[in-house]
Amino acid sequence: MSKFAFDDRDIRWKSFDGVDHLWFSVLDIDDANKIIHVLYKFAGNRQIVLHRHKTLNKTMVIQGEHRLYHANGELKEVRPVGSYTVSPPSDDPHREGGGDRDVVVLFTIYGDEETLYEILDDDLNVAASLTAKDFASFYERSPRLERL
């Protein structure tokens, strides 16, 4: 089987202030069904800020290796390219990152709750929250992607 490389040069990556090693692109927001589609890129051999998912997330690893870490930084799980995962809401804090190279993961976020993600400090205190409204503010509908 042939190997393919994912070319992300034309993706308009953005970043969250104060969150290192993470870039994202909001692809679509389905307001009627409260679903947000986001590409995340995690830097290789790095970990992002401690956080927890407060709503259902489904993921598909597009490029690289998606790594999840316990709050203490210990490796928890490795998801290779092509992995599809359904992750229910959880109060379990974790970090995420890429393997030996940057990883690109498609997230489908089900935004039924006001808070989608909680950003935590090292003492597990909530430092910030991300909501569906936050993602909507990052969404730039491209004219070529408009619905018919």
Q: Note the pLDDT tens digit of each residue in 16-61.
A: 988 999 999 999 999 899 999 999 999 999 999 999 999 999 999 9
Residue 24 lies in a domain: no
Residue 79 lies in a domain: yes
Residue 5 lies in a domain: no
Instruction: Give the integer Cα–Cα distance in Å for 83 and 135.
Output: 24
Residue 48 lies in a domain: yes
113 CB neighbour count, 10 Å cutoff: 13
- Domain extent at residue 45: 34-140
Residue 133 lies in a domain: yes
For the chain, how many structural domains are there in total?
1
pTM, rounded to two decimals? 0.91
The CATH number given to whatever domain includes residue 102 is 2.60.120.10
